[in-house]
Amino acid sequence: MKCRICGSEKEKKYFKAKEMMLGTREEFTYFQCGQCHCLQIEDIPGNLSKYYPEGYNGFESPEKDIFGGIKGTIRKYKYKASLFPKTASSGFLNGFFQAKQYDILGSLSLTMQSKILDVGSGEGAFLYPLYELGMKRVQGVDPFIKETIVYPNGYKVIKNQIYTVTGKWDIILYNHSFEHVPDPLEHLLAVSNLLKPGGICVIRIPTVTSYAWEHYGTDWFQLDAPRHLFLHSLESMKFLISKTGLKLEDIIYDSTHAQFTNSEKYKNNIGLYEDSKSLYSSYLDRKLKKEKYKRLARQLNKENKGDQAAFIIKN
């Protein structure tokens, strides 16, 4: 079988990976290309939707009153500090009050008029706070939500594929959705048509060019069989980007302690949502190991070996 990314027929390595997020332990065959090193599922299940049940963590609804009350006011400051770090309103306390999930977006010189598309957005939780902050040109698109959603504040999430989207966009996001798409090159070609000149695409994905894959193998929790169809390497991402006319500007590693805490569970045949008390001798042991794993994650990110990264791609 040819690699679906680079087309190589070079010798491949085959692996059996278990479904562990839902805990079914059903096995799926993956292979790693000997040329571009992309790890990919051998056969995409015909009934893939059954592995995305109601309540799946990619489909969480936005918190409607996200900036209400005292906590909401603090949260609003944190979000602004991350999204607009250079503005006077963010102040010198940015380093202490930040919503880390928006740091990468904040590095892209956003304005209140920035036009942002979130591909594979689920019900739109990631961009909803931006709309609440007054950024009215943000939108989600996802083919797997039940129906198009228009929230009371006007924020919209379209039930459809990226190929149906029109207009030109400043920023297009794949926030841990690119590894789920069966046709990654076609998605990137669509991105190249939708971005304004100088526009940016941010693709956040797990990567096999990492310590976690090397150390845990198929127990690496971000393999996430069978939902993750492609676990890209740096080589496979660079290959795809080279086919589109887009330019890879930067790679930012942002892995967390989860590459250890969750992979240790899988290594011990414990599902993602199953009790993991048996892995720790005490509550203190759990806390100490978590802090240790946080330090290791920070170090791996510095060494470009973390298990997830953001690819910053420019039109």
**pLDDT at position 89:** 52
**pLDDT at position 75:** 84
Which DSSP category does 207 fall into? B
The parts of the chain modelled with pLDDT lower than 50 are 88, 90
**pLDDT at position 63:** 80
**pLDDT at position 44:** 95
Nearest to 16 by CA among 2, 36, 31, 33: 31
**pLDDT at position 99:** 61
> Which pair of structure tokens corresponds to residue 25?
């332990």
Nearest to 151 by CA among 160, 163, 169, 138: 138
192 and 305 Cβ atoms separated by less than 8 Å? no
Q: Where are the domains of the chain?
A: 1-44+201-314
- Which pTM value belongs to this model? 0.92
Distance between CA 139 and CA 114 in Å, rounded?
Answer: 11
Per-residue pLDDT tens over the stretch 118-149: 999 999 999 999 999 999 999 999 998 989 99
137 and 114 Cβ atoms separated by less than 8 Å? yes
**pLDDT at position 95:** 52
Helices (H), the chain: 69-83, 103-106, 128-132, 184-194, 211-216, 234-242, 258-267, 283-302
> Is the backbone peptide bond immediately before 129 cis, with ω within 30 degrees of 0?
no
